[in-house]
Amino acid sequence: MTEDGTEIMDRYGDLKSFVTEWHRPIGPSDGNTETEIADTEARLGFRLPEALRELYALVGNAGDITRGHNRFVLLRDLKIEEDWLVIWEENQCVTVMAIHENNLTEENPPVHKLDGDLSGRGWESECLPLNNCVLDMLAYEVMMASEWLAVDVMMEGAIEIPDAEPFLRTKARATPYAVLNDSGYFYLDEVLLYSPGSLEEQIAAKTRDDLLAVMARYEGMCWSYTSLDD
């Protein structure tokens, strides 16, 4: 709360809640300092949007949360490319998330998912305000950071059928986070399920026992990898 009694909105409350539940609490050392952010702004020649400043101050240094598989762009690597400020890159740069330079003066600007080749601009997805799409950017990093993981799950002997609903998704329930539900994340018993489409599904558990319980409950699944094998 400010000195005049105004409530300060925690625009990343969902991110903190999700990361704490499925990975670890976010601490002060996970973020960039104000000096680091200001130095980047001096290099770029403009002030970053407030929501982006807050995001770097929260998790800019947390590599396990932001860069385990895909990459949230480090402050030192921020730059304008083809009129876009890219803030996230898929691990092979097939897609990126970026803010158009015309929106950089907005407090919580829209973020677009784009073809990784910005010069070609092959396609562009619908956009969301930055604070609403952060979970979509970082949820997979949190999932892949799990010690208890099973990936590439498919029903034994299944044949991929167009538009068929993946098996585990039919057993799952929605998360409290709308953007994650839209992106293929669900809760399945005591684990986190990622089911983006087709017959491929992945799960992450908080404990070894939770992972074993789900594997036993859905014993007809064919697990191409589990962290139990490591």
Residue-wise pLDDT tens digits, 192-226: 999 987 667 899 999 999 999 999 998 778 788 89
Give the chain's domains with CATH numbers.
Answer: 13-142 (3.40.1580.10), 146-229 (no CATH)
% of residues, the chain, pLDDT over 90: 67
Residue-wise pLDDT tens digits, 109-133: 999 988 887 775 555 676 889 999 9
Which residue stretches of 25-154 are H helix? Answer: 34-44, 50-59, 63-66, 130-144
> How buried is residue 80: exposed, middle or buried, by Cβ count under 10 Å (0-12/13-18/19+)?
middle
Question: Percent helix, strand, coil in the chain (nearest 5)?
Answer: 35, 25, 40
pTM over 0.85: yes
Residue-wise pLDDT tens digits, 51-109: 999 999 999 999 999 998 999 999 999 999 999 999 999 988 888 999 999 999 999 99
